[in-house]
Amino acid sequence: MHFKSNVCYNKNMPKVINHDEVRGKLLSQCLNLFSHEGYGSLTMRKIAKALNVSTGTLYHYFDSKEDLFRQLVEYITHQDLFDVEKALQGADTFSERVDALLRFFIDREDYFLNQVIIWMDYTRQQGEGTEAEPGPREALVQYEQGIIRLLGIEKEVARFILAAINGLVIQRYIDGGRTSLATQSILIRQYLLGQEEQGSL
């Protein structure tokens, strides 16, 4: 452990910077910005100011605003390579696992909302353009399969649960939190437990 150092002592190469690392650090601060302002309304200057860098720096790490946004989507998509797995820790019974899943989403409601908003903006941005990159679609599948692994339910049921959670988060966004997170969670819970009883998973 001793004498290990990542710092380069070469005199003539003063700045040793991991390009990708900096890029990641920048991206991680962009989720809220894009989510709150919207792709079209967010400007490069706003981003630069929020990240405490110059616009020049932004363009050093990203080709364009669109590229930055694309990379952001990729970043947040690969970011949570579904830590749902962690939510499984010490959850033995089906009921416990359902609780863990719900808690997982409830705890990170804000983050999840931002994510969905970004996905929608991204989908819109691509528009009738290039069918190209999967992006959010892939993330959705990851969530879906995480749920399947965790609860051992069918794909379509998992999608239904995911849709319900998505819808719940969005509904709360629109109605300013008037929809009760607790009550709705209970309904989802009841549904899942009911499914298990019927053995229809």
Residue range at the interface with DNA (CB under 7 A); choices 10-18, 122-130, 153-161, 170-178: 10-18
170 interacts with a copy of itself by CB under 8 A: yes
Q: Which H or E run includes 93?
A: none
**Do 11 and 59 contact (CB within 8 A), yes or no?**
no
> Among a copy of itself, DNA, none, what does residue 57 contact (CB within 5–8 Å per kind)?
DNA
71 versus 77: smaller Cβ distance to a copy of itself: 77
Figure out which of the listed residues 112, 119, 146, 151 binds a copy of itself, where binding follows CB under 8 A: 119
136 interacts with a copy of itself by CB under 8 A: yes
Q: By C-alpha distance, which of 183, 89, 110, 192 is closest to 148?
A: 192
24 interacts with DNA by CB under 7 A: no
Residue range at the interface with DNA (CB under 7 A); choices 49-57, 104-112, 175-183, 190-198: 49-57
What is the C-alpha separation between 94 and 87, in angstroms, rounded? Answer: 13
81 interacts with DNA by CB under 7 A: no
123 interacts with a copy of itself by CB under 8 A: yes
Q: What is the DSSP string of 33-67?
A: HHHHH-TTT--HHHHHHHHTS-HHHHHHH-SSHHH
**Do 34 and 69 contact (CB within 8 A), yes or no?**
yes
Q: How far apart are CB 47 and DNA at their closest, in Å?
A: 8
